[in-house]
Amino acid sequence: MGFVSTLLSLIGFGFGVSVGMLIGYFFYIYPQPRGVKEPKTKQLRDMDTKSFNEFLPEIPLWIKNPDYERIDWLNKILHDMWPYLDKAICNTIRSTTKPIFDQYIGKYGIESVEFETLTLGTLPLIFQGIKVYEIQDKELVIEPVIRWAGNANIVVDLKLFHFKFSAQLIDLQLSLVPRLTLKPLVPTFPCFASINISLMEKPKVDFGFKLLNGDLMAIPGLHHFVLDMVAKQIAIMYHWPQVLELPILEASSGATKRPVGILRVKVVRAMDLLKMDLIGKSDPYVKLKLSGERLPSKRTSIKMCNLNPEWNENFKFVVKDPQTQVLELHVFDWEKVKMHDKLGIQVVPLRLLSPHETTSFTLDLLKSLNLNDAHNRKNRGKLVVELTFDPFKEDKWSMERHSSIQTGEDGDECASTGGMLLVTIESAQDVEGKKHNNPYVEVVLKGEKKKTKVIKKSRDPRWDEEFQFTLDKAPTEDKIHIEVVNKRSGRLFRTKESLGYVDIILSDVVDNGRINETYHLINSKNGTIHVEIKWITT
C-alpha cells in the first residue's frame, strides 16, 4: 500500500503541475498581442498633472534651464568613437591600477591581482546638457550633465593562498553633474595644463556585484545600503570644495602647477561648541586639509570634556594655487568606540590672504557647505584660526645660482628662516636583487619617510617622482638618506631587500639652490641613482 500511495502522489503532482501551466498559458500568455504596437505619443501640454510630474525628471536640462545648451553633436561623436574610447580608457585603467595591485602582492597571502575582463560595454555615456561659464583669468569652467546606463563588464581575479577568487562588476549606471575647470590656459596644445573636477551634487550610482558567481546585490537590504555608501564616499572625496586634478601637459612644458608658497595655520581656540554626549561634554579636535591635495588631513590634539577648547597648535601646508585653493576645517567630537560626530565645518579661501601678513579669522561653524541647508541656521559655535601665506621667491625656480644664506646687519651670516626641499627621484641604473627585482626608493629626512611607486621586474627603473619636505630652517647641517629597496613578491615575511643607498649632504643644495647629480649606490656593485634636489625659501 505504501508503494501504491507514493506512486499515486507522484502522478497527482505531475498532473496538477501540467494543468496549472496549461491554465496559466491560456489566461496570461495567449491573450497577449502577437505584434509590436506603435508607441502612443502625447504632447506635454496634453498630459495630466500626475503623468507630467512622473515624466519631468526625464526631460533634458537644456529644455528646463536656458543656461544649459543642447549638445547632440557631441553625443553623436561619442557614439561613433565609443569602441575606441572603451579600449583607450580600459588601457589607462589597467596601467593606473597595476602599481596599486602590485603593492599588495606578497602581503596577506595575496599572490596575484589582475583584470580577467575589463570593458565599458557598447553603450556610451550621454551628455544631457552643458553650461559654460564666462572665461575668467586663464581658466575655463564648464558643467556638463552626464548620464550613463552602460553594459560594462569588469572582472578582477584574486589569487589568495593558491585559491582563485573572482569579483565581477556589471550593469554600471551613473548620474553626475561635475564642474570641469580647464586651467591654466596656455599657448601649448591642447591649450590647458590640467583639468580640475568637482561634483556639484551627490552622484547617483547603481551597479551589480558578483562574488564567486553569486549576486551579492540580491541580498535583501544590501543593494540600497551599498549604493548609498558608494555615493556618499564619492561625494566626500570629490564634492565641492574637494578637487580632483588631472594633469594634461607634462612638466617639461612648464605649465603644470608647482609649489608657490607655504601656508602657516595656527588653530587658536573654539567657542560655544555643541554638546553631543548625553553625559558630559564633547571631546573636540580639528582636522585640517588643503583642497586640491591628496595628502592625509592634519589634526589637532583632543580636548576632553570642553566646549571652549584652546589649542594654539601650528600646522604648515604646501600651496600650489592660492587663487583657487581653500583651507578646510572640520571640527569633530572624539568617540572611543563609535564614529566621531561632526560638530561643524568651515572653509577659508586662500585668495583672502595677503603675502607675509598674518590674518585672524573667527569662523561660524556650519552643518554643511550647502548654503541652502536649513541646519546651518543652528548655532554650532565658532572657531578662531590665524593664517599666514609665505610665497616662495620667484627666482628660485630659475636655473641661476642663488644662496639661501642671508646676511644680517652685523655682517654675520644667519640661516634662512625656512623653506622647502624638493627631492626628485628620476631613475636608477644596474640595480639588482638576489631573486626578484621590483625596486622602489625610500627617501628619509629628519625621520620623515617618503616612498616612490614600485617598478616591476626592472634593473633600470625610472620613477620621475617629486617629494616635498617643509623645513623651519635651512638644512645646512643635515643629510638626506636615499635607498633603493627591492620589494619581494610571494613572501609573507622579510619582504624587503636593500639594493644600495646614498647619503647626501644638503649644505651644497642650500648654497647653490639646486643640485642634479648621478650617485653610485653604496653596497651595490654597479648601481647608480639620478637625483635632483632644490631648496627654495619664503
Kindly write down the DSSP assignment for every residue of 325-367, as one continuous string.
-EEEEEEEE--SSSPPEEEEEEEEEGGGPPBT-EEEEEEEPBS
Separation between Cα atoms, residue 208 and residue 388, nearest integer Å? 49
Locate 530 and state its grid cell: 639620478
What is this structure's pTM? Answer: 0.48
* Distance in angstroms (rounded) separating the CA atoms of residues 132 and 144: 8
| Range in 176-185, 207-216, 506-515, 521-530 with the lowest mean pLDDT | 207-216
Of 275-279, 415-419, 506-510, the range with the lowest mean pLDDT is: 415-419
How confident is the model over 120-124, as a mean pLDDT? 87
**Total Cβ atoms within 10 A of residue 361:** 17
Q: Taking Cα atoms as reference points, which of 474, 469, 465 lies closest to residue 449?
A: 469
- Burial of 344: CB neighbours in 10 Å, binned 0-12, 13-18, 19+: buried
| pLDDT, tens only, 458-467 | 888 888 888 8
d(CA 487, CA 501): 15
The model's confidence at residue 13, banded by pLDDT at 50, 70 and 90, is low
What percent of the chain stands above pLDDT 90? 17
Predicted confidence at residue 519, as pLDDT, reads 93
Choose between 457 and 58: higher pLDDT: 457
Full DSSP string of 425-490:
EEEEES---SS---EEEEEEETTEEEE-PPPTT-SS-EEEEEEEEEESS--TT-EEEEEEEEE-SS
Pick 433 or 27 by higher pLDDT. Answer: 433
| Alpha-carbon torsion, ordered 495, 500, 505, 511, to 10 deg | -100
In angstroms, the first-to-last Cα distance of the chain is: 102
What are the pLDDT digits (tens) for 345-370? Answer: 999 999 899 998 999 999 999 888 77
For 89, list phi and psi in degrees, rounded to 5. -65, -40
Contact 528, 429 (CB under 8 A): yes
User: Residue 504: pLDDT above 80?
Assistant: yes
CATH-assigned architecture of domain 261-391: Sandwich (2.60)
Phi, psi of 251, rounded to the nearest 5 degrees: -60, -30
Q: 290 with 337: CB under 8 angstroms? A: no
CA pair distance 471, 388, nearest whole angstrom? 16
Strand partners, 289: 328
Instruction: Locate 184 and state its grid cell.
Output: 591654466
Backbone angles phi, psi at 253, to 5 degrees: -75, -15
**What CA–CA distance (Å, rounded) separates 452 from 467?**
9
- pLDDT of 395-427, one tens digit each? 444 444 444 334 333 334 444 467 888 899 999
521 versus 406: the higher-pLDDT residue is: 521
Would the CATH topology of 261-391 be identical to that of 414-537? Answer: yes
Boundaries of every domain in the chain:
60-247, 261-391, 414-537
Residue among 344, 348, 454 at smallest CA distance from 101 = 454
User: Is the confidence at residue 194, as pLDDT, over 60?
Assistant: yes
Determine which of 199-208, 281-290, 451-460, 529-538 has the lowest per-residue pLDDT on average. 199-208
- pLDDT on residue 266: 95
Alpha helix segments (H runs only) across 30-71: 49-55, 61-64
pLDDT at position 8 over 60? no
The pLDDT, as a whole number, for residue 314 is: 93
**Grid coordinates of 59:** 526631460
**Helices (DSSP H) in 39-181: which residue ranges?**
49-55, 61-64, 72-104
Q: Name the average pLDDT for the chain.
A: 78
pLDDT of residue 465: 87
State how far the Cα of 89 lies from the Cα of 118, in Å rounded to an integer: 10
Provide the 3-class DSSP secondary structure of residue 198.
strand
Domain 414-537 has CATH 2.60.40.150: yes
Q: What is the pLDDT of residues 42-85, one digit of tens each?
A: 666 667 776 666 666 666 655 656 667 888 888 898 888 988 88
Among 166, 170, 130, 135, smallest CA distance to 150 is for 170
